[in-house]
Structure 1
Amino acid sequence: MTTSSTLEFQVTRNLAAKTDAQRDEILANPGFGQHFTDHMLDVCWSETGGWHRPRVQPYGPISLDPAASVLHYGQEIFEGIKAYRHADGSVHTFRPLENARRLQRSARRMALPELPEEIFVQSLRELIAVDGAWVPSGEDQSLYFRPFMFAKEAFLGVRPAKKVAYYLIASPAGAYFSGGVKPVKIWLSEDYARAGKGGTGAAKTGGNYASSLVAQAEASDNGCDQVVFLRDGNVEELGGMNVVFVMKDGTIVTPESDSILQGITRDSILQLAEDRGHTVERRDISLEEWREGVRSGEIVEVFACGTAAVLSPIGLLKGAGFEDEQPLGELATSLRQELTDIQYGRAEDKHGWLVRLDA
């Protein structure tokens, strides 16, 4: 059992790694989540041994016992974070300690061990050390990290697993919006709920996303890009993004409850807005307040934000029997530009959010 704040990783190189030409071809148009780097990282945990056997190995299938508890009880969590290539060639990530702490909060809720913050950040550095060439340099491109943890102990009893695995994989990501940022259409789900009081809504766990898929399919069937959920008549969040409202007086309102994922992108955007002098309110906002606010002009912009898309203006709210056009303004796109300029090293990082990974 290690008592160090960092681990010594064993590295096994992938002898079938992509050639420079093959990698360059992928990076020219990577899409999102379609291609993966040559290596992956994992660390084991056991009740008696703690965190141990840290290794970087060739990317490939994971072997699991059919009785592994994750397959039966869904005891798993994950994160999403990016690496950015700066103009000088260096590689940076954005607020990794916040992702590490959110992973810990998710772990507590799902009865999993908490990965130390130092090991989380170290894992990003260890993967970049072998796969740094996979960080693209094109406009709005990045390397998307997917850290995840799951219960691997083979047993069929209902209790927290005593053996767990932490993995890290990475996928080059192209610009989320080809041709520029576009307003999205949102479907109001009235038949399905994302989470409830005392549930797992604030944890980044796969079950939350699985339960949103049928509602997302309903959104697609109705010509919409995303789905928004309600809880007790109040706006909660989209299937995978937070929602933000801009009021006529410049106040920014975002829903806050124990069933909403604490978005790091959202918190960063709100901080930038406060830096500009905007008042930020984290409170309940009802569907009625949303619709009436748009009709009266009290709400002047609505947008969604998350790691993958960064920020998306909402152009339409659609539900059974209604379609509400949403007002489009300049604040959302301005904040998006400011945030991405910081992430890519084009603007000053006044809050110390960037962490270099290749040094």
Structure 2
Amino acid sequence: MSRPVPAVFGSVFHAEMPVIAFQNGAWQPVEWQSSQDLTLAPGAHALHYGSECFEGLKAFRQADGKIVMFRPTANIARMQQSADILHLPKPEAEAFLDALIELVKRAADEIPDAPAALYLRPTLIGTDPIIGKAGAPSDTALLYILASPVGDYFKVGSPVKILVETENIRCAPHMGRVKCGGNYASAMPWVLKAKAEYGASQVLFCPNGDVQETGASNFILINGNELITKPLTDEFLHGVTRDSVLTVAKDLGYKVTERNFTVSELKAAIENGAEAVLTGTAAVISPVTSFIFEGQEVEVKSQERGNALRKAITDIQFGLAEDKYGWLVEVC
């Protein structure tokens, strides 16, 4: 059975979505409603004071026909962390996972074959309809989950040109590990400027020369047999895909080093044949093809190791390799 894949990533949604409300100090039973609209008071806290966060994960149709989700408990834990930092009600893990599983079951017939997937977007928003709460958290909230059939975000051979930005930061440093819309919005001016002036795909934020992450992905330098990436701090998002790549890389014989490193070190490594990749849920791994350092474009000579690491992850997701890590949750 051929299942059509929307041309635009994340533009088509399963007809229903689960909605769980936090009211009167407690999470309520899940309700199902149309995914075409959401009723929200114009004064809702999320709309005025940014009390919102979200997650992104995928469900896959494997080679034997099974439907699985990839590492949903890690995404649930990260949303709970985001909720804590934003002082939003923290979702209950069991009800959250049950809602994800039921949504994937209901959307099972819409899940495309490999290399496509079903993208899942849990979203948590503060709903207090009080515009006088600029200095107080929302006491009520909604957790809802969208499901969207998506194609393969990654296209082999597509150029991934990265502008290295050393003067500006992606977001407020203490908010970096929160997956919230405000962080993406704050990076937008630099991303659009980079695209307009250099044709760049993304911006690698390196304030004062400290290599961190791009506007939408974690960053890893592959220098020979060593993967180098910034250690987990508050300044950047603690990616589930990043963690998966580092775990698999160790098993493939790579040395994994989590440490701070500078733009000067990055540039020297690239000029001497190192590779670099971006990691995230949508594309898994995107090997970088070139960098722009202070107006000068430097080509990345190879993407071989990055492509091999990507295949190691996607083979697990699609059931072509053993899941030694217990990452897959079978749905049906």
Coarse TM-score class (shorter-chain normalised): over 0.9
User: Which of 191, 211, 226 is the equivalent residue of 1:235?
Assistant: 211
1:353 counterpart = 2:324: no
Matched residue of 2:287: which SS?
strand
Question: Do the aligned residues in 2 keep the contact of 1:124 with 1:357 (CA within 8 Å)?
Answer: no
Alignment of 1:253-264 (within 5 A): 253-256=228-231, 257-264=233-240
Alignment of 1:1-359 (within 5 A): 27-46=4-23, 48-137=24-113, 139-156=114-131, 157-158=133-134, 159-178=136-155, 180-197=156-173, 199-221=174-196, 222-248=198-224, 250-256=225-231, 257-295=233-271, 297=272, 300-358=274-332
- Give the deviation of 1:174 after TM superposition: 0.5
Q: Deviations over 1:194-231 (max 9, x none)?
A: 1344x210110110001111111012111111111113
Matched residue of 2:91: which SS?
coil
Amino acid of the structure 2 residue aligned with 1:45: F
Matched residue of 2:28: which SS?
strand
What is the match of residue 7 of structure 1? none
Matched residue of 1:227: which SS?
strand
RMSD of aligned residue pairs (Cα, Å): 1.7
Q: Give me the whole-angstrom Cα distance separating, in 1, the residues matched to 2:115 and 2:5.
A: 12
Structure 1: gaps of 5 or more residues: 1-19
Matched residue of 1:235: which SS?
coil
- Give the deviation of 1:88 after TM superposition: 2.5
What is the match of residue 14 of structure 1? none
Matched residue of 1:349: which SS?
coil
Q: Give me the whole-angstrom Cα distance separating, in 2, the residues matched to 1:102 and 1:293.
A: 32
Q: Structure 2-normalised TM-score? A: 0.94
Residue range with higher mean Cα deviation, 334-343 or 87-96:
87-96
Matched residue of 2:288: which SS?
strand
Question: Do the aligned residues in 1 keep the contact of 2:166 with 2:207 (CA within 8 Å)?
Answer: no
Q: Give me the whole-angstrom Cα distance separating, in 2, the residues matched to 1:329 and 1:155.
A: 51
User: Kindly tell me: are residues 226 and 242 of structure 1, through their superposed partners in 2, closer, same or farther at Cα, counting changes over 3 Å?
Assistant: same
Question: Do the aligned residues in 2 keep the contact of 1:184 with 1:315 (CA within 8 Å)?
Answer: yes
- Give the deviation of 1:183 after TM superposition: 4.1
Question: Do the aligned residues in 2 keep the contact of 1:30 with 1:172 (CA within 8 Å)?
Answer: no
Amino acid of the structure 2 residue aligned with 1:355: V
Question: Do the aligned residues in 2 keep the contact of 1:182 with 1:312 (CA within 8 Å)?
Answer: no
Question: Do the aligned residues in 2 keep the contact of 1:302 with 1:328 (CA within 8 Å)?
Answer: no
Q: Deviations over 1:140-188 (max 9, x none)?
A: 100000000000111122200011000101111101134x353410112
The 4+ residue runs of structure 1 with deviation greater than 4 A are none
Amino acid of the structure 2 residue aligned with 1:218: K
Structure 2: gaps of 5 or more residues: none
Q: Give me the whole-angstrom Cα distance separating, in 2, the residues matched to 1:237 and 1:321.
A: 19
Identity %: 36
Q: Give me the whole-angstrom Cα distance separating, in 2, the residues matched to 1:117 and 1:196.
A: 28
Q: Deviations over 1:231-259 (max 9, x none)?
A: 332011011111111123x1210012321
- Give the deviation of 1:293 after TM superposition: 2.1
Amino acid of the structure 1 residue aligned with 2:140: K
Q: Give me the whole-angstrom Cα distance separating, in 1, the residues matched to 2:77 and 2:109.
A: 28
Q: Aligned residues, how many?
A: 328
Amino acid of the structure 2 residue aligned with 1:302: A
Q: Give me the whole-angstrom Cα distance separating, in 1, the residues matched to 2:296 and 2:190.
A: 17
Amino acid of the structure 1 residue aligned with 2:22: W
Amino acid of the structure 1 residue aligned with 2:188: L
- Give the deviation of 1:262 after TM superposition: 0.7
Question: Do the aligned residues in 2 keep the contact of 1:182 with 1:313 (CA within 8 Å)?
Answer: no
Amino acid of the structure 2 residue aligned with 1:38: A
Q: Give me the whole-angstrom Cα distance separating, in 2, the residues matched to 1:105 and 1:83.
A: 22
